[in-house]
C-alpha cells in the first residue's frame, strides 16, 4: 500500500521569505514522488518529480524539493516566496516497484503568501 501525508492544511509566509510545504510518504518499494500546484478554478499543474538520482530536485517557478529516504520525506521549498505562489499544493507518491501505476495524492496544503 502507498500513502502520502501533508501535515499542514495551510502555510502562511511573507513575500520574500523562504517557504516549505511538508510531505511524507509510505510505499512498499522505492517511491516516485511528485508535486503539483492548483490555482483557483484550474486543473493541477506539474511542478517537479523525483524518480531517481540527485536528492535535490529542481522544478518550475523556482521550486525545489528534497528527497530524504531515511525520513521518507519530500518537502517542497522555495528560497523567496511570491504572492503569486499562493495556491493549493499537492504531493503525490507512486510505488516504483511495479505495484500500482496509480498515484496517491495528499490532502493538499494551502499556501498563502502575504505581501
Residues 35-94 touching another protein, rule: CB under 8 A, are 36, 41-46, 49, 88, 90, 92
d(CA 36, CA 16): 21
Q: Which residues pair with 38 in a beta bridge?
A: 44, 88
In angstroms, give the least distance from the CB of 89 to another protein: 11
How many CB atoms lie under 10 A from the CB of residue 72? 17
Task: Choose one: 12-20, 62-70, 76-84, 95-103; the region binding another protein (CB under 8 A).
Answer: 95-103
CA distance 83 to 109: 16
- Strand extents, DSSP E, 18-86: 19-21, 24-26, 31-38, 44-50, 56-58, 64-68, 73-78
Total residues interacting with another protein, rule: CB under 8 A:
21
Q: For another protein, give the closer residue by CB, 27 or 92.
A: 92
Binding flags for another protein, 3-42, as an x/- string (CB under 8 A): -----------------------------x-x-x----xx
Cβ pair 79, 67 in contact under 8 A: no
Residues at the site binding another protein, with contacts judged by CB under 8 A: 32, 34, 36, 41-46, 49, 88, 90, 92, 101-103, 105-108, 110
Amino acid at each position: 500500500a502507498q500513502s502520502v501525508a501533508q501535515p499542514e492544511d495551510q502555510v502562511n509566509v511573507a513575500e520574500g521569505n523562504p517557504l516549505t510545504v511538508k510531505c511524507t510518504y509510505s510505499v512498499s518499494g522505492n517511491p516516485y514522488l511528485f508535486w503539483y500546484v492548483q490555482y483557483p478554478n484550474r486543473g493541477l499543474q506539474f511542478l517537479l518529480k523525483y524518480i531517481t538520482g540527485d536528492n535535490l530536485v529542481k522544478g518550475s517557478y523556482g521550486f525545489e524539493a528534497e528527497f530524504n529516504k531515511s525520513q521518507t520525506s519530500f518537502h517542497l521549498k522555495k528560497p523567496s516566496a511570491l504572492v503569486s505562489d499562493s495556491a493549493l499544493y499537492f504531493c503525490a507518491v507512486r510505488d516504483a516497484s511495479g505495484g500500482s501505476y496509480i498515484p496517491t495524492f495528499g490532502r493538499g496544503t494551502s499556501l498563502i503568501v502575504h505581501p
